[in-house]
Amino acid sequence: MDAGIVIVGAGETGARAAAALRENGFDGAVTLIGDEEHKPYERPPLSKAVMQADDHPPVPHIAHALRFDELEIAHDVGQRVTAIARGERLLRLADGSTVPYGRLLIATGAKPRRLAVPGGDALLYLRTFADALVLRQHLVPGRRLAIIGGGFIGLEIAASARQRGCAVTVIEAAPRILMRGVPAEIADIVAAKHRGEGVTLMTGTGLDRLEKRDGGVAVILADGSEVLADGVVAGVGAVPETALAEAAGLAIDNGVAVDAHLRTLDESIFAAGDCCSFPHPLYGGRRIRLEAWRNAQDQGAYAAKAMMGATEEYAAVPWFWSDQYDLHLQVAGLVDEGRRMVTRDQGEGARIFFHLDDAGRLVAASGVGPIGRVSRDMKLAEMLIARRAYPDPAALAAPATKLKALLSA
């Protein structure tokens, strides 16, 4: 008897894969195992809506996860997988039980990168709903919040904290905020927005240590300066959760290493989402790992088809978004693949930056502006990237030239 498909990790990727199996006609057993006590939920609201809610926020459940009973998807909550026994095709759980699998999807996600500094036990992190409930207790009007890290998660928390009336300082060791995946022009716009909202941004200096002081925390920086805070959050990126895969002897390369079909070196085991790295055909097979809501969804849906025998390569354009105050950002493609940048001024404070490679192919686009101002053209840019288009730079720069016309060409 076929043991069916088992998914380890009940986040966005795992939940999407489980539902997609049914949507694509798989009628065997589907089991989803997660170590949290909740049914699968969305993570993007944790730094925004959950932080800003006036009352106790509800768990932001993924819609199709609420239909698991109807879809006949077994969902084990609060269960931790301790080992993958590949030879027996068994999962060993912390309670001593075992779960057999015919095919296995590893969707274990990522975990916050921990800062190993003196006094680091005072740091707060945000990854889970439980983390969000702890953090939001610090978002009280008049309280001082220090955020270590000027990436997207740190800046989203900063925006939410300001909207809750906190005094906020963001500390970034790099020369500017948003060093990864965003051009300096967008980082400057975002920085100006935060400063305009009252956030203190400190760049170019790292963290030395934390000291408990007068009921709060003193953040001691590498240059000797201090920031006094009532709470300190670390938002310095995430690391893939690969312990299970590594212990099972699977290849690790900035995540669980998979091929263009999200299959590991074991033909019965796949991996998807934040925990895996994969070769991307749009960028010459460059191996990348993405921490993004869209990628989690796309790879979950693709993994379902791949486990059912589909043979096309995974080639979705990388895509990311962030809302901070009334400012909306989107990035499509890999900005660091670009060698030339073309700017389109959309008006009303909205801009799109097109990133071309040496041959003139559009490899990425990044947009910023008031909510609703860049989304349509960013979607068209994403389609141009997927088609490996070589658009006329002058046409890209001209707001009067419709991107849809370039797509038709």
108-163 per-position pLDDT tens digit: 999 999 999 999 999 999 999 999 999 999 999 999 999 999 999 999 999 999 99
The total domain count for the chain is 3
In whole angstroms, what is the distance from residue 36 CA to residue 40 CA? 9
Percent with pLDDT over 90 in the chain: 94
Buried b / exposed e along 189-220 (16+ C-beta atoms within 10 A)? bbbebbeeeebebbbeeebbebeeeeebbbbb
Q: Of 234, 264, 294, which marks where a domain is finished?
A: 234
The answer to whether residues 191 and 245 belong to one domain is no
The answer to whether residues 253 and 358 belong to one domain is no
Query: Which residues 6+ apart lie within 8 Å of 1 measured at CB?
Result: none
The answer to whether residues 188 and 164 belong to one domain is yes
Q: What is the predicted pLDDT for the residue at 65?
A: 86
| pTM score, whole prediction | 0.95
Helix (H/G/I), strand (E/B), else coil: 47: helix
> Mean per-residue pLDDT for 22-40?
95
> What is the pLDDT confidence band of residue 409, given thresholds at 50, 70 and 90?
confident
Q: What is the predicted pLDDT for the residue at 175?
A: 96
Given a contact cutoff of 8 angstroms between Cβ atoms, the answer to whether 399 and 405 are in contact is: no
Write out the residue range of the structural domain in which residue 386 sits: 326-408
The answer to whether residues 176 and 145 belong to one domain is yes
Q: Where are the beta strands (DSSP E) in 17-72?
A: 30-33
Q: Does residue 1 carry a pLDDT above 80?
A: no
Q: What is the predicted pLDDT for the residue at 181?
A: 80
The answer to whether residues 201 and 229 belong to one domain is yes
> Mean per-residue pLDDT for 344-356?
95
Q: Provide the CATH number for the domain around residue 330.
A: 3.30.390.30
Q: What is the predicted pLDDT for the residue at 208?
A: 96
Q: Of 234, 252, 282, which marks where a domain is finished?
A: 234
In whole angstroms, what is the distance from residue 248 CA to residue 47 CA? 34
> What is the pLDDT confidence band of residue 180, given thresholds at 50, 70 and 90?
confident
The answer to whether residues 210 and 268 belong to one domain is no
The answer to whether residues 335 and 372 belong to one domain is yes
> Mean per-residue pLDDT for 85-106?
97
In whole angstroms, what is the distance from residue 186 CA to residue 356 CA? 17
Helix (H/G/I), strand (E/B), else coil: 120: helix
> Mean per-residue pLDDT for 77-85?
95
Q: What is the predicted pLDDT for the residue at 408?
A: 85
> What is the pLDDT confidence band of residue 31, given thresholds at 50, 70 and 90?
very high
